[in-house]
Structure 1
Amino acid sequence: MFHEIRFPDDISRGARGGPERRTTIVELASGDEERNAAWASSRRRYDVSYGIRRADDLAKVVAFFEARNARLHGFRFKDWSDYRSCPPSQIPAATDQVIGTGDGVTTTFQLVKRYASGAQVWTRAITKPVAGTVTIALNSAPQASGWSVDAATGVVSFAAAPGDGIAITAGFEFDVPVRFDSDALDVTLDIERLGSITSIPLLEIRR
């Protein structure tokens, strides 16, 4: 089960982590190597223990952990290094990301974000947009109505299918669906100080 609640922003701001991939490397007798991608998509991993600065932060994390039943329930997490459809220094705009092309029939489109470097592009499905931040454009013209977005799935639905060849774009902020990656919190108790937790690992949920 997934809880549509975000991990405290003031603590996530100090977290460490980012994307990881799984690559299999086989070294041949000749010294050459063969590399194969075991995963089609990346997965993000974080440690939020670095964001705890006060005793209240510690208590807040423990309460959040207990309410999620440790690893049982997923939740939202704001990755401060990557939470917009545009570069970090910019404000999301309705033309940021192409999410589809109209064919006169299809009425639903998944929010996505593309990561490009040179000729290589990787497309990431965005399943947890932040409510109230999504904007949509058709052929670069912002649309104030005629569509809706499911904040729990990232699916954009149109009242009427966009016409054939029409570029559908979107701008948005988003969270990462994660879960705790441990069933225990290793809390160091110190009544004269704030106390600490050695590690609080979070792992992105992929479906």
Structure 2
Amino acid sequence: MSFYEQLFPPEISANMVGGPRFTAMQAGTIGGQRFTNLMDPYPLHEYSFEQPPRTGEEFEALRAFFWVVRGIDGFRFKDWSDYRLTLQNSNLTLISGTTWQINRLYQSPGRTAVRPIYKPAPGVKVFRTRSGTTTDITGSTTITTTDGRVVIAGHAGGDTYALMGQFHVPVAFTSPQAAFAVLGGSAMLTSWSDISIRETRQEA
């Protein structure tokens, strides 16, 4: 599977239903004991939505998108419930040398979950906090939007980083088959009532 570095039409995905799903097993005993096993620390996001009746011209963008990804290639998707990076909900973690990974943080009292972001949108800005002062250092960094990595020069001990901008989810259609419905009429309206996609990490 290859990856198509383009965004699924966001005006269609605005009607999405879905979110993260952890891979886990659980079992219980008669006495009420509960046993769990989390098999992956990161969930995969799943979404379903529909393309409502549109004219042939409006429908062409969706049909063309399905054709060019051949029903199986990965692509970018805007999760309208979670697509913003802010100074409060993001950070960078060191991979090696001068290369850092973009993360989205989820914070609740006593716990913080870290989600690597592999598909930041163009225009993301990087901020450094040093000795209590926060500065935009985007101009002196190299941000790779295909894997979410940032190269930073001049890091000093105690420096922390955060970001501002948007990110996308790498996904693919769960089925290589589309199901278009032609409703007819003078406008020849066409719809696709059951679109299902799932996050993929093949291109992370």
TM-score by length of 2: 0.86
Q: Distance in 2 between matches of 1:31 and 1:20?
A: 25
Determine whether 1:195 maps to 2:186: no
Give the counterpart letter for 1:114 in structure 2.
L
How many residues were matched structurally?
A: 194
Give the counterpart letter for 2:114 in structure 1.
T
**3-state DSSP class of the match of 2:162?**
strand
Runs of 5+ in structure 1 lacking a partner?
A: 87-92
Determine whether 1:205 maps to 2:200: yes
Give percent identity, aligned residues only.
27
Provide the alpha-carbon RMSD of the alignment.
2.0
1:39 deviates by: 2.3
1:57 deviates by: 4.1
Q: Distance in 1 between matches of 2:127 and 2:167?
A: 15
1:85 aligns with 85
Q: Which residue of 164, 183, 186 corresponds with 2:176? A: 183
Give the counterpart letter for 2:119 in structure 1.
K
1:147 aligns with 141
CA contact (8 A) 2:100 2:150 kept: yes
CA contact (8 A) 2:125 2:138 kept: no
Q: Which residue of 150, 156, 171 corresponds with 1:156? A: 150
2:28 aligns with 27
Q: Which residue of 136, 143, 160 corresponds with 1:167? A: 160
Taking a change above 3 Å as real, the CA distance of residues 76 and 144 of structure 1, as seen in their structure-2 partners, is closer
CA contact (8 A) 2:128 2:159 kept: no
Q: Distance in 1 between matches of 2:111 and 2:90?
A: 16
**3-state DSSP class of the match of 1:199?**
strand
Runs of 5+ in structure 2 lacking a partner?
A: none
CA contact (8 A) 2:19 2:45 kept: yes
Give the counterpart letter for 1:36 in structure 2.
N
Q: Distance in 1 between matches of 2:89 and 2:30?
A: 47
**3-state DSSP class of the match of 1:30?**
coil
Taking a change above 3 Å as real, the CA distance of residues 83 and 189 of structure 1, as seen in their structure-2 partners, is same
Q: Distance in 2 between matches of 1:133 and 1:196?
A: 34
TM-score by length of 1: 0.84
1:13 deviates by: 1.3
